[in-house]
Chain A
């Protein structure tokens, strides 16, 4: 995938998040304060503007621009987390003019690690990490970029379902305790939407 392909893919990713604003906010209303969708929309609208302004970018530049815009304009926990995801992940793409299977797997691995460090969370706490971490692991087995992305999307989707049976132990949902059971984590759903859209563009 060339830098321009990555640019087109990330514009589609941003659009997918924007299109799902109500789905994401509704998911958040069950366990949080119902603003995950609007926060993500703010961040990804800014990401669209930033990516659009890039001329013949490298894959790294696209991911970094997206992360920086999301962090600056998204706000809230989601801005910090999804901004960190793309910013930290972009570093492994430095000096590469193409995004390939190995690069994508590395991108997810480093992003997952950075997000866990920033949020002070590990898997099993009913967060977006429960979609991102398994996606990073699954993507490492792909023999082509398309296969890596497909595996990542599939693992993330399974991760979203898995959060349904987890107790929230961090974030605003934490105090719900057992009342958080039966609901998916909205951040995990966002990860799944992002990876699903990447897969469809691969």
Chain B
């Protein structure tokens, strides 16, 4: 097995050093509770309902890179591919709390669910109100009747986008929660891996994939997808991903969506644009309009090559928050 080349110092310090670099890259707009993975925006207005996101590191720029204007107020970041512990989540929660409660928004994985739940219990004892929304957008993970078995992948970017806007403009936590839940319910994604990423600490790939193989539906940590097959053309891969996504969404002619194509790490923008071309051909065929397109690396998996496609069905309310300008280290839109 070939050990991948990575630009690191001490591998066990990779997460901590990455976070130090991330804080510096924010030029004062984001701070960190010292010695932890708890990040917070330095300019959170009093009386704001706080939006706290989080999850394992190694997916940069998400989650820490999404702390910013009209996005998240804070992020609880764990080690590579490992959920943050309850202490980190509580530290981040206390740092962003402005007396009006906190919305936890994170991806649906056993580790994240347990640690955020423990943190919610501890914060409840301190009198801090929390609400929990889990992103479950990966259609490859489970059929629609088992939504709670679906993983959260790059569709989370769109949900955070909507959530950040709603939590800035609105004051009522229940109303903000309703809008985020709608965004979450309207988003579907699917990924494909063409080569594996590796863990900085072990130097080993997270899964084995033959040189001429791809895995359609693979998750952001190398979890198994729908099927493993020989490499095919960009159009064929895209067809295979769009069919289950659209089959899960009940879109009608004339509906509008926001489209996000996420680079898992090592694919090129050229490949992603070729994919975009085919996605648009399929959507045009079905009479579905694309309101906005986002293409880039937001929810990566180290040097995994591959991408995911996410679609969110829009209504006037969701469109408003998708269109709201936002800025952060990892994601900005006008």
A residues whose Cβ falls under 8 Å from a Cβ of B = 22, 25, 29, 32-35, 37-39, 42, 71-81, 83, 118-119, 170-177, 179
Chain B interface residue number, banded: 35 or more
Is the pair B224, A35 in contact by a Cβ cutoff of 8 Å? no
* CB-based contact B223/A175 at 8 Å: yes
Q: Are the CB atoms of B85 and A74 closer together than 8 Å?
A: yes
A175 touches B141 (CB 8 A): yes
Query: Is the pair B111, A76 in contact by a Cβ cutoff of 8 Å?
Result: yes
* Minimum distance in angstroms from B254 CB to a CB of chain A: 34
Also in contact, A25 and B202, with CB within 8 A (given A75-B84, A81-B114): yes
- Asked if residues B224 and A75 are in contact (CB atoms below 8 Å), the reply is no
Pairwise interchain contact B111-A80, C-beta atoms closer than 8 A: yes
- Tell me whether A77 and B114 are in contact (CB under 8 A): yes
Q: Is the interface of A mostly helix, strand, loop or mixed?
A: helix
In the complex, the chain A residue whose C-beta lies closest to that of B88 is A75
| In the complex, the 5 A-B pairs of residues with the closest C-beta atoms, listed nearest first | A76-B82, A77-B111, A80-B114, A33-B221, A76-B111
Determine how close the nearest CB of chain A comes to the CB of B306; give it in whole angstroms.
15
- Determine the residue in chain B with the shortest Cβ distance to A127: B110
Looking at chain B's contact residues, the main secondary structure is loop
**A83 to B85 CA separation, bound complex (whole angstroms):** 10
Nearest residue (CB) in A for B117 is A118
Q: With A and B bound together, what is the CA distance between A76 and B55 in angstroms? A: 9
Q: In the complex the two chains form, is B78's CB within 8 Å of A75's CB? A: yes
Closest-by-CB residue of A relative to B36 is A72
Considering the complex, give the chain A residue whose CB is closest to the CB of B78. Answer: A75
Most A CB within 10 A of own CB, among B84, B88, B149, B224: B224
B82:A34 contact, CB within 8 angstroms: no
**25 A-B pairs (CB sep. < 8 Å):** A29-B207, A32-B221, A33-B221, A33-B223, A34-B199, A34-B204, A39-B79, A71-B86, A71-B118, A72-B85, A74-B82, A75-B56, A75-B78, A75-B83, A76-B78, A76-B79, A76-B82, A76-B115, A79-B83, A80-B111, A118-B114, A118-B118, A172-B221, A174-B141, A174-B142
